[in-house]
Amino acid sequence: MNTLAEQGLDDKTLVMFTSDNGPWWEGSSAGLCGRKNLPFDGGYHVPFVARWPGVIPPGMTSEAPSMNFDLFTTSLSAAGIPLPDDRIFDGVDLLPILKGKSDTTPHEVLYFYKGRNLMAVRKDNWKYYRRHNSDNGAYPFFPQGPFLFNLSTDPYESYPRFKYQVQQ
């Protein structure tokens, strides 16, 4: 930030700071279920701070869900550069949210993967988890789920609306 100020660019530059995943075994997930490499929100919910004087209102906050791949699309939009039309982009432009003009995610659905495996899908406040191996290191081969959570009433993903029962 000091270098941007020295160059006279601090008021003309969009600065974004974030992380790629939630905490590993140490660190806080702020009470959310899960950690890095797990499909629960504790593994995906990360801080995001953006600064762009004159564009982003100071102190503005939003709870609208987004994904890190939105940063590419948002950066192009901020620079006034259109998306290339020779491919499909999963990311969406977050500038309406950053400018305080919207508090709703521009994503219709969010998909959560572990490697190439689809683990969960979120639409609005509903999050569905496929059947997957346990996150308990002592029992890594015991599958759990599927689960469905209403994140508006259960943000900690503690009480599934339904839970698959294995028949013995």
Written as tens digits, the pLDDT of the chain (168 aa) is 999 999 999 999 999 999 888 888 788 888 898 888 777 888 888 889 999 999 999 999 998 999 999 999 999 999 999 999 999 999 999 999 999 999 889 999 999 888 888 989 999 999 999 887 766 555 566 677 788 999 999 999 988 887 655 555
CA separation for the pair 44, 68 (Å, rounded) = 10
- The amino acid occupying position 67 is M
Contact status, residue 148 vs residue 160, Cβ threshold 8 Å? yes
**Whole-prediction pTM value?**
0.82
CA separation for the pair 41, 54 (Å, rounded) = 32
- Please name the residues in contact with 137: beta carbons below 8 A apart, sequence gap of 6 or more: none
Q: If you count them, how many residues does the chain have?
A: 168
Burial of 107 (0-12, 13-18, 19+ CB in 10 A): middle
Angle at alpha carbon of residue 10, lines to 5 and 15, rounded to 5°: 125
CA separation for the pair 102, 98 (Å, rounded) = 8
